[in-house]
Copies of this chain bind each other. A is one copy, B any other.
Amino acid sequence: MNDAAAPQGREGIRREGIRHGGDLTQAARLFPEAPAPWIDLSTGINPWPYPLPALAPAAWTALPTRGALDALLAAAAGAYGAPGPDSLVAAPGSELLIQTLPRLRPPGEVAIVGPTYGDHARAWAAGGHRVQGVATPDGAPGTTDVLVVCNPNNPDGRTWSPTDLLDRAADLAARGGWLVVDEAYADLDPGRSLCGHAGRPGLIILRSFGKFFGLGGLRLGFILAPAPLLDAVRAGLGSWAVSGPALAVGTAALADLEWQAGARRRLAGAADALDAVVRGAGVPIVGGTALYRLLDAGDARHLWRHLAQCGVWTRPFPEHPGREGWLRLGLPPDPDAMDRLAGALASFVRP
């Protein structure tokens, strides 16, 4: 790897293939001169993680047991308001579930409400489906077999009415279709979740554990769907797909409703504080959730590069035509990080 020739700006973004935030390996390669330590604002992961419980040695050494999995599913059903533990299947991250769904039905027409998290479109296209982006759930054509909606949406935070989504699921189910609702950020606003309706025909819900609980390295996610589809997902994952540490930590965290309520309050306050700093620097905020804020930075490559040169790693969206102004910022983890962000924003000179 030739660091001396590290590409920067939009070419850098494109040439390096930045598809996701969260990889400081890439940041350090592109901007070797940036001041350490890097402040990683490139993801929507809670910077105040659920405190790790003490793990029994068997969580590491033994094959995960059915009993441990049952406990996790019961805790998840409780946290998500699902009808019961049989409503869910656990996986090593919701990303793997995104890759799995397109294999479980014959190629068809897929409409994805966007711009949104890019792996949905990539996975369905790789599975041989015809994929098109639509601006709203109602904008999907009548021939749609699968409609994918992120609720709330990443990165702009748009939300959709649960009642409307249930209607769309019923429409799709009536002709053998699916509504896939990615609720990766729904922990922030549980009232908007469809998990209470899990099991309805045609309704598929994905949940991500790592974002809200601040444990992205743990790899844990869930799918809620009608039983035959859950059976197919379970069979494809094989035995023991979820690690012993993920079973133990996930069970403790999902059962801890008090921590979850506190985290919602803390995140909401932190998002407000971030907004104040960004707006104070004259940059408008155009969306987001309490785990990330979406800025309109004009031509975002300039602010992205400037922040990176200051050691602040953020997420631009050059892959979305017409959204070149978007820049997504996660929550600064502490006052020092907020100060460094504020200083970097203040020293930015628009070209």
Contact = CB atoms under 8 A, between A and B. Distances in A.
Contacts of A21: 63
A64 B92 CA distance: 13
Interface in A32-71: 40, 43, 45, 49, 52, 57-68
Contacts of A245: 217-218, 243, 245
Nearest to A245: B245
A24 interface: yes
A22 B62 contact: yes
A11 interface: no
Contacts of A277: none
Contacts of A57: 49
Interface residues of A, number: 55
Interface in A230-260: 235-246, 249
Contact of A93 (B19, B61, B241): B241
Interface of A: 19-26, 40, 43, 45, 49, 52, 57-68, 92-93, 95-96, 98-99, 103, 119, 123, 126, 210, 214-219, 235-246, 249
Given A20-B63, A95-B239, 20 more contacts: A19-B239, A22-B63, A23-B65, A43-B62, A45-B63, A58-B217, A60-B218, A61-B215, A92-B219, A92-B241, A93-B241, A96-B238, A98-B238, A99-B235, A99-B236, A99-B238, A119-B239, A217-B243, A218-B245, A219-B241
